[in-house]
Amino acid sequence: MKNFDYKVLHVCAQSGARVGEFTTPHGKIITPVFMPVGTQATVKSLTPRAVEETGAQILLSNTYHLYMRPGHKLVERAGGLHKFMGWNKPILTDSGGFQVFSLAKLNNITDDGVLFHSHLDGSKHFFTPELAMEIENALGADIIMAFDECSTYGASHEYAEKALDRTIKWLKRCYDTHSIPTQMLFPIVQGNMYEDLRLKSLQETVPFAKCGIAIGGLSVGEPKDLMYKIMDVMQPHYPQNMPRYLMGVGSADCLVEGVLRGIDMFDCVLPTRTARYGTAMTSKGKVSVRNATYKEDFTTLDPECDCYCCKNFTKSYLRHLINADEILGAELLSIHNITYLTRLTERMREAIFADRFGDFVEEFRKSPEYC
């Protein structure tokens, strides 16, 4: 693993939360870290320079969408995702499994793979673990995900176990297929909301984790208290010498609660998606600039924030942009929301180094930011 390394820099004496350093071929990542999502090789409305200025250390892109268009072979001919999208820091790609099961029109799921129709044009495709690895290898991200089946919230124990077993079978095939040393394969823990299945999945997944492990199938519609309960069950059983990645989580409260429960990496479309609808994450809680109350509010969006949006524009102007459907409104609020989450991870790292993360969590839970 000469291209990858993870070391714990400090463990909070008060809470057990940790700060780590994750080395990849495209640079080091200090954890805990939030990863903005660039689904189709772009963070919506933002240039790579604008994303970098938010403090983002790593981006996530989507295997399913890039397979559909422009095609992984084209990206490979372009020199891989880093060159194609002009981002020189680390990139993580998911396997496409979540989108295959949630977005496309499914035809059939077997142990061999998944037959589905494209959400774009209805064309028929058959995804296998081997194809997922082929696509991710061609895209060239630093960190790639194994192909998995994420059973839906509310699935029976019987079905959730079948999906878990299938995920382990697919993981073995991904592991046998993947061979590029400049890419780190993360296996994914599944098991739905069943404690016994989560522990079973962890036990069978850990042997395939070389420098990173992902937790999938959470934040998929279940109450947050239930998500935290499942995370509490898993926490004592995580490997200590590698980063743990909680997939698809991006609200401020979940980031703080996740770090408290041993998580190092997070991603979510939430900051950019809510920005497009006029919602900002701030030190005073959520602000919907669409509201009439901000029509003549000439104050900054968040007095605690130093991002380009907050240093230069008022709530009144942002409200005008959003209500006029101007692209700049989504751009400015996306800059702010991503900056807010990267600053939140910085604040958490500072509290961990100071051995007061437990106090930080208690204070944060009482703040308007906890939402």
Which of 5, 94, 112, 176 is an active site residue? 94
Under the banding of pLDDT at 50, 70 and 90, the label for residue 116 is confident
264 is an active site residue: no
Q: What is the DSSP string of 65-93?
A: HHHHTT-HHHHHHTT-HHHHHT--S-EEE
Lowest mean pLDDT among 113-117, 223-227, 286-290, 326-330: 113-117
Which of 148, 264, 267, 302 is an active site residue? 267
| pLDDT more than 90, % of the chain | 93
**Which of 75, 67, 56, 72 has its CA nearest to residue 344?**
56
Taking each helix axis as running N to C, give the angle between helix 252-260 and helix 224-234, from 0 to 180 degrees, rounded to the nearest 10: 20
Question: Is 287 in a helix, a strand, or coil?
Answer: strand
| Per-residue pLDDT at 104 | 66
**Which of 81, 37, 33 has its CA nearest to residue 245?**
33
- Give CATH for domain 5-268: 3.20.20.105
User: If you count them, how many residues does the chain have?
Assistant: 371
pLDDT of 106 higher than 90: no
267 is an active site residue: yes
pLDDT of 105 higher than 90: no
Question: Is 118 in a helix, a strand, or coil?
Answer: coil
Lowest mean pLDDT among 70-79, 110-119, 149-158: 110-119
The percent helix, strand, coil of the chain (3-state, each to 5) is 45, 20, 40
* Own/partner pairs, 123-127, CB within 8 angstroms, 24+ separation: 127/96, 127/97, 127/100
Q: What angle do CA 13, 16, 20 make, to 5 degrees?
A: 100
Under the banding of pLDDT at 50, 70 and 90, the label for residue 100 is confident
Mean pLDDT value across residues 2-27: 98
| Per-residue pLDDT at 234 | 98
pLDDT of 1 higher than 90: no
Q: Which residue is listed with tokens 């077997």?
A: 110
| Per-residue pLDDT at 206 | 98
Mean pLDDT value across residues 78-89: 98
Number of C-beta neighbours around residue 310 at 10 A: 21
Lowest mean pLDDT among 117-126, 143-152, 207-216, 217-226: 117-126
What ranges do the domains of the chain cover? 5-268
H-assigned helices in the chain: 48-53, 63-68, 72-77, 81-85, 97-102, 129-139, 157-177, 195-205, 224-234, 252-260, 270-276, 308-312, 315-323, 327-353, 357-365
156 phi/psi in degrees, rounded to 5: -70, 160
pLDDT of 103 higher than 80: no
8 phi/psi in degrees, rounded to 5: -80, 125
| Per-residue pLDDT at 99 | 82
| Per-residue pLDDT at 87 | 98
Choice between 331 and 106, residue whose per-residue pLDDT is larger: 331
pLDDT of 96 higher than 90: no
| pLDDT more than 70, % of the chain | 99
